[in-house]
Amino acid sequence: MTECFAEILWARVNAADGPAKTWLERVWPGGIEGAGASPTSVQFRAAFAGCARRFRDLTLQADDIRSLRDAGVLDGANWQLDNVARTALLLRALSLLPSGEQAEIVRQVYLRGDYREQAAVLQSLSFLPQPERFLELAIEACRTNVLDVFEAIACENAYPAAMFPEAAFNQMVLKAIFMAVLVGRIAGLGQRATPELKRMVIAFASERQAAGRTVPDDVDLIVNLDAA
Amino acid sequence: MKMPIKMFDHHIHMTSRTTDDYQAMADAGIVAIIEPAFWVGQPRTHVGAFEDYFLSLVGWERFRSKQFGIHHFCTIGLNPKEANNPDVNDGVMELLPIYLEKESCVGVGEIGFDDQTAVETKIFEAQMQLAIDFDLPVLIHTPHRDKKAGTERTIDLVKASGIEPGRVLIDHNNEETLAATLDSGCWAGHSIYPNTKMDEGRMAALVQQFGTERITINSAADWGVSDPLKVPKTVDAMREAGISEADIETVVWHNPIAFFGQSGRLDLGPDGERPRVDQTELWEGNSVLRGQEAKIEAAVEDAAGPAE
């Protein structure tokens, strides 16, 4: 299923047949026919950075969004071609590297990204080989102060519910409430609503009430979840 | 009073400024800013410090700015002062292609001369070539010491680089340098400063003398004694001097957009409106908003003017 990212990307740039195609042919990791950017090079990192503006004028088609959904992207309608391109570039780069060097490339691209790049890395984690390798990176991402980055890992992303240990998952949910991010957007919340999470949320509500401040509606939503 | 003119401060180092500054700038009518990569006061001792700085320009600072309804862009380059430092110069030059690709990078800069050394010349030339390769406009700093000769050397180097002069903005001009800068075909920036460089009244006089073509102003506010409201204050001075609203708007809005728009990356929305302010993007604990009520503007139109 993960081939769909590269397929969509190349379909869009080939259809447009303009400067985006020329550029992608030049930077595609490993090259089209042998040569091309090494995944460990400055050129690869520059290519990853350049996706947003190089593909700005190209839009995803309805079929592309269906393919993304089939591949497991939970919010395909919110993806743009640069998200697809960045996932495709990461998959391609990892395929060219020995398994022991793969995780470090993902980490470097994440750390050196602007926030749209960081969001793209986080949205792609579930689709990369051996995704459990990226757990630390995903937990670290939840410490961001930038809303777009936090939403990319916390919302419409299957990774946290599938991979996070309880403490990290609970911190993410609590931080979503603090940031006024609707917890309904957290995939798999129902399966991860433990007594400990409910205790933390009730304690948060109590603290708010004691301070004379309003308590977000999402507190009740979590307390009333009956899973776990 | 509603201030009808939108302003663009195309040179300001917000990393060194407070949220009060952001609020005051938004209230005064500043809609967009460019933060050029520069010297941060304390010399950097390793390349990683530059990388984190560039990342803050395309990341955290951009987010901070948006929370006050101000578009934030940057220019990326190795500043002339630190171009002299062999511990960092080659390493930073190797990294520049990554950061010149970033979405919010609208130019190479600020680069140029400080002490006018041989190393500065070499790195200045290499960055002019990067501007050509990346098809980006260039923001050039001119030196504080031996300024007139330094500006003339700058113009010679620009000509020799082969770049189109209309894609170069030479900054920090004064009465002694402006004519030569305009004659070269480059754009001429002016940094309005409390004590040095250029002040509001002198700037109004220069606009009366030279007109508005290829002329811009900025605050160049940073970590020193400087003022992030110098662009609006100069607008007031130009009004007092009798300069027309249309000419003022050309200098503080249309000109910087025309210049940096040459990057093809200056995305100000359809009418150059403010980004929507949504301070629920902030939260207590770690953010720039600590305990205040979040300000949510219902629509872009509400954000277009300054606070009453």
Which whole number is the average pLDDT over A18-40? Answer: 85
Least confidently predicted of B6-10, B277-281, B293-297: B293-297
Contact A115 B63 (CB under 8 A): yes
| pLDDT at B293 exceeding the cut of 60 | no
- Asked whether B10 and B170 are in contact (CB, 8 A), the reply is no
**β-strand B215-218 against B168-170: which pairing, if any?**
unpaired
Which whole number is the average pLDDT over B193-218? Answer: 94
Identify the closest residue of chain B to A151 by CA–CA distance. B281
Least confidently predicted of A59-63, A191-195, B289-293: B289-293
Q: Which residues contact A26 (CB under 8 A, 6 or more apart)?
A: A36
| pLDDT at B197 exceeding the cut of 80 | no
Alpha-carbon distance of B221 to B67, in angstroms, equals 20
| pLDDT at A191 exceeding the cut of 50 | yes
pLDDT at position B271 is 73
Residue ranges of the domains in chain A? 3-163, 165-228
pLDDT at position B273 is 79
Query: Given pLDDT bands bounded at 50, 70 and 90, which one contains residue B306?
Result: very low
Q: Is B183 on the interface with A (CB under 8 A)?
A: no
Q: What count of CB pairs under 8 Å joins A to B?
A: 56
Identify the residue among B283, B287, B292, B296 best suited for mutation to test binding to A, counting A beta carbons within 10 A and taking the highest.
B283
Q: Which residues 132-191 on chain A approach chain B with CB closer than 8 angstroms?
A: 145-148, 175, 178-180
Query: Given pLDDT bands bounded at 50, 70 and 90, which one contains residue B195?
Result: confident
Identify the closest residue of chain A to B51 by CA–CA distance. A112
pLDDT at position B299 is 33
Which whole number is the average pLDDT over A202-223? Answer: 91
Contact B102 A45 (CB under 8 A): no
Q: Is A42 on the interface with B (CB under 8 A)?
A: yes
Least confidently predicted of A30-44, A212-226, B167-181: A30-44
B81 residue type, one letter: K
Q: Smallest Cα–Cα separation from A80: which of A53, A57, A51, A60?
A: A60
Query: Given pLDDT bands bounded at 50, 70 and 90, which one contains residue A30?
Result: confident
Contact B286 A145 (CB under 8 A): yes
Angstroms from A204 CA to nearest CA on chain B:
13
Which whole number is the average pLDDT over B198-219? Answer: 96
Which whole number is the average pLDDT over B120-127? Answer: 98
| pLDDT at B204 exceeding the cut of 70 | yes
pLDDT at position B196 is 75
Distance from the Cα of residue A53 to its chain's centroid: 19
B192 residue type, one letter: I
Domains contained in chain B, CATH given: 7-267 (3.20.20.140)
Dump pLDDT digits (tens) for B142-192. 998 999 999 999 999 999 999 999 999 999 999 999 999 999 999 999 999
Identify the residue among B63, B106, B292 best suited for mutation to test binding to A, counting A beta carbons within 10 A and taking the highest.
B63
Residues of chain A contacting B285 with CB distance shorter than 8 Å: 178
Contact A46 B265 (CB under 8 A): no
**Mean pLDDT score of chain B, rounded to an integer?**
90
Residues of chain A contacting B58 with CB distance shorter than 8 Å: 114
Question: B30 has which bridge partners?
Answer: B7
Query: Given pLDDT bands bounded at 50, 70 and 90, which one contains residue B135?
Result: very high
Query: Given pLDDT bands bounded at 50, 70 and 90, which one contains residue A225?
Result: confident
**β-strand B71-76 against B138-141: which pairing, if any?**
unpaired
Dump pLDDT digits (tens) for B47-68. 999 999 999 999 999 999 999 9
Token output for A68 = 């993304």
Q: 3-state SS of chain B? A: CCCCCCEEECCCCHHHCCHHHHHHHHHHCEEEEEEECCCCCCCCCCHHHHHHHHHHHHCHHHHHHHCCCCEEEEEECCCHHHHCCCCCHHHHHHHHHHHHCCCCEEEEEEEECCCCCHHHHHHHHHHHHHHHHHCCCEEEECCCCCHHHHHHHHHHHHHHHCCCHHHEEECCCCCCCHHHHHHCCCEEEEEECCCCCECHHHHHHHHHHHCCCCEEEECCCCCCCCCCCHHHHHHHHHHHCCCCHHHHHHHHHHHHHHHHHHHCCCCCCCCCCCCCCEHHHCCCCCCCCCCCCCCECCCHHHHHCCCC
Which whole number is the average pLDDT over A188-214? Answer: 93
Q: Is B94 on the interface with A (CB under 8 A)?
A: yes
Query: Could you give the percent of chain A with pLDDT greater than 90?
Result: 83
* ipTM for the predicted complex: 0.84
Which whole number is the average pLDDT over A158-163? Answer: 97
Contact B265 A53 (CB under 8 A): yes
- Phi and psi based region of residue B162 (left: phi greater than 0; alpha: psi -120 to 50; beta: remaining): left
Alpha-carbon distance of A106 to A123, in angstroms, equals 12
Token output for A97 = 């590297």
Query: Could you give the percent of chain B with pLDDT greater than 70?
Result: 89
Contact A146 B59 (CB under 8 A): yes
Query: Given pLDDT bands bounded at 50, 70 and 90, which one contains residue A151?
Result: very high
**Mean pLDDT score of chain A, rounded to an integer?**
93
Which whole number is the average pLDDT over B119-126? Answer: 98
Angstroms from A192 CA to nearest CA on chain B:
24
Identify the closest residue of chain A to B52 by CA–CA distance. A112
Which whole number is the average pLDDT over B225-243? Answer: 97
Contact B280 A43 (CB under 8 A): no
- Cross-chain CB nearest to A114 (options B102, B283, B285): B102
- Asked whether A201 and A225 are in contact (CB, 8 A), the reply is no
How many Cα neighbours within 13 Å face the side chain of A166?
10
| pLDDT at B270 exceeding the cut of 90 | no
pLDDT at position B279 is 58
Which whole number is the average pLDDT over A63-91? Answer: 96
Contact A116 B51 (CB under 8 A): no
Q: Smallest Cα–Cα separation from A83: which of A109, A46, A120?
A: A120
- Asked whether B204 and B244 are in contact (CB, 8 A), the reply is no
